[in-house]
Structure 1
């Protein structure tokens, strides 16, 4: 049978089994209307059952226009619990958020790491203490900043202007075990992993204008640690559609790391892939091959992912508004912490 005919036959069979199968494994809810372009998600360390998310910048990626830099606290059903306004911070292209305990303080780390044109001279990670109390809109100031660039970034020829060698990234996690941040690029095949030591953060004080401190913060260079391996199709339907949508569906849009630093979940537009770092293993070894995957119910703008605090579920958000902008699914039982 010709390949096209074989795929068509298998596709009809796959539709039959999927209609009665995995749809019940996904639980959906709606994000608040103010979160209409969700681009990151992380679990709160201070408030059980709460997650922090944010919009991309005013629906204009890589825009130089100013918008209100807001973080939104939501619960697992998508209800808005609080808004955090980082008023002095310029929101250039926020694409990720992660969290961790830094110097005894539950801290949010916002990744201004998007670069659709690969033209920014450097990128920023803002460190913001989690508020002790939720409710209404609160103002918050960052306490630290990392400015960084990639090792292959260089000024472009004078006739072109700008910079070359930058990377568009939407995935960021804090590896508390090794005290470093992990970044994963998006618009390239294969995607690349980089690390930045937590020690690179530069303190931000309220006594001086933030814009001045921003300009004078030293720029560090991220370290390349390896490529994301080829991602296998998570299920039969994904395999069937891969020749058509693979280049789009395989783009990494976020990742989340379990509290024990063992399990890394990488989100794409079509699936979640799990990588396991076993005792004594470095990230180069852990990233060699995914140990499991879950196909998502449809290919869409899934942009943020977080483990629940008990590590038993994943919460995923997508751009847009409506009833299916927040999704919950179970972590495979074989991968849960022993």
Structure 2
């Protein structure tokens, strides 16, 4: 009576076969995945159950990989520091403040965070709005801070706004109003005054805007809406040009900021467990002081004797084809290695079984 016998590959042989198979499939042993901050697409989710209406983003210069955000109305005088994993690492309470409709946050060259209590859901009925400023904390932990409060009015009357941008070089504050069919970009005084009224004057038209940000060097301005974004060059205290960007589709796109190195934009949204998306800037989109990243240089394929490949010319394959052929050949060699190892294993166990049956 024949009995079926379960045989096992020796551990060393099995490990070798698996390792070779992994390489043939394109895997690299010990490979480290790219950091979230270096890739495009969704990079993290704000998971704090208290943050359900994230309405502004500002990249910290003092704490790399940290972003400041806040809720929309009805939350209280709180600003949150969120890391690149979406975890809240500090909650800052603004003393002596009762916000009405906080909509924006921006970091100034003086190291202070500026919070814009600018929203007006009555369609522009409030006679004045406010900006609160406080020093970015040196340490990230829950704390209360004293703020400076600035009273703001517009020269052409009340209006709704959701974007506050403080220029990172001059320190001047700008507000973009939110209006269907287009709003305006308003410039504050050269220096905000904590006493009296700070009048903001319209200097340019603006699209429907839910948030905005300057690049770290101040040479670019981005204004975003729910479904779109526009990038401007900033020169002599005013925007110029205007290039449409592909903003991600989000539940309620409410926030945008440049990354601390100026190479990309981060887009945020309101809602529970709201995702933050990264989109890299390219070419002329990059701020003036940011150099484009060098393109990777392909490694020339050499022959078995170490000789260099033939120079391009008549009869010489293009680098694209050479790379493709080399990759295919390498994958084929690795696959043959797997087959060879499994064939050897099968032969060994076949011999062993014959000896037992004999």
Taking structure 2 as the reference length, the TM-score comes to 0.65
Partner of 1:182: 174
* Aligned partners of 1:170 and 1:186 also within 8 Å: yes
1:80-104: CA deviation from partner (whole Å, max 9, x where unpaired): 11100113111111000001132xx
Partner of 1:72: 80
- CA shift for structure 1 position 25: 4.2
* Aligned partners of 2:250 and 2:269 also within 8 Å: no
Partner of 2:56: 40
Select which of 253, 260, 263 maps to 1:312. 263
Select which of 74, 87, 96 maps to 2:95. 87
- CA shift for structure 1 position 178: 3.4
Partner of 1:263: 220
- CA shift for structure 1 position 33: 2.0
Query: How far apart in 2 are the matches of 1:167 and 1:182?
Result: 14
Query: How far apart in 2 are the matches of 1:179 and 1:99?
Result: 9
Q: How many residues align?
A: 248
RMSD, aligned CA? 1.8
- Cα separation, partners in 2 of 1:179 and 1:298, compared to 1, 3 Å: closer
Query: How far apart in 1 are the matches of 2:278 and 2:115?
Result: 23
> Which runs of structure 1 show a deviation greater than 3 angstroms over 4 or more consecutive aligned residues?
176-179
Whose relative contact order is higher, 1 or 2, with alpha carbons under 8 Å and at least 6 apart? 1
Larger strand fraction of residues = 1
Q: Is 1:112 the counterpart of 2:117 in the alignment? A: yes
| Max Rg structure | 2
Q: Is 1:300 the counterpart of 2:251 in the alignment? A: yes
SS of corresponding position for 2:121: coil
1:248-289: CA deviation from partner (whole Å, max 9, x where unpaired): xx62110110121101111111122110124xx440xx34x3
Partner of 2:204: 226
* Aligned partners of 1:270 and 1:300 also within 8 Å: no
Partner of 1:51: 67
- CA shift for structure 1 position 127: 0.8
Partner of 2:183: 191
Query: How far apart in 2 are the matches of 1:79 and 1:92?
Result: 26
- CA shift for structure 1 position 299: 5.2
- Cα separation, partners in 2 of 1:129 and 1:185, compared to 1, 3 Å: same
* Aligned partners of 1:179 and 1:197 also within 8 Å: no
Q: Following superposition of structure 1 onto structure 2, how do residues 7-22 of structure 1 map, counting pairs within 5 Å?
A: none
Taking structure 1 as the reference length, the TM-score comes to 0.69
- Cα separation, partners in 2 of 1:48 and 1:101, compared to 1, 3 Å: same
Partner of 1:17: none
SS of corresponding position for 2:61: coil
Task: Give the unaligned 5+ runs of structure 1.
Answer: 1-23, 59-66, 154-165, 203-216, 229-249
Partner of 1:140: 145
- CA shift for structure 1 position 53: 0.2
Query: How far apart in 2 are the matches of 1:251 and 1:190?
Result: 5
- CA shift for structure 1 position 198: 4.6
Query: How far apart in 2 are the matches of 1:301 and 1:132?
Result: 32
1:56-101: CA deviation from partner (whole Å, max 9, x where unpaired): 122xxxxxxxx52100001123111110011311111100000113
Select which of 120, 129, 144 maps to 1:123. 129
Q: Is 1:335 the counterpart of 2:285 in the alignment? A: yes
- Cα separation, partners in 2 of 1:70 and 1:218, compared to 1, 3 Å: same
